[in-house]
Amino acid sequence: MAEIVNLRRARKARDRASAEAKAEQNRIAFGRTKAERKLTEAEKTLAERRLEGHRLSDDPGGEDKA
């Protein structure tokens, strides 16, 4: 014989699991300390400055104007 399943409980359990998965993703994305955020921003700025330093021309479009 088949097991009787309470659909309300099954739905709530599914919703709880979904909410927990989303919470885990948010903890990864937003759960960083201020020092970690500042370090990431500093690394990003340094990488951008290095890239800009290797440009061959000052023209941002890269095309010569006639």
Q: Is the pLDDT of residue 66 over 90?
A: no
Whether the predicted model's global pTM rises above the 0.85 cut = no
The per-residue pLDDT for 60 is: 63
User: What is the pLDDT at residue 35?
Assistant: 94
Instruction: Using the CB atoms, write b or e for 16-38: b if 16+ within 10 Å.
Output: eeeeeeeeeeeeeeeeeeeeeee
Dump pLDDT digits (tens) for 9-59: 999 999 999 999 999 999 988 888 899 989 999 999 999 999 999 888 766
| Region of 62 on the Ramachandran plot (φ > 0 left; ψ -120 to 50 alpha; else beta) | left
Instruction: Compute the half-sphere exposure of residue 65: CA atoms within 13 Å on the CB side of its CA.
Output: 4
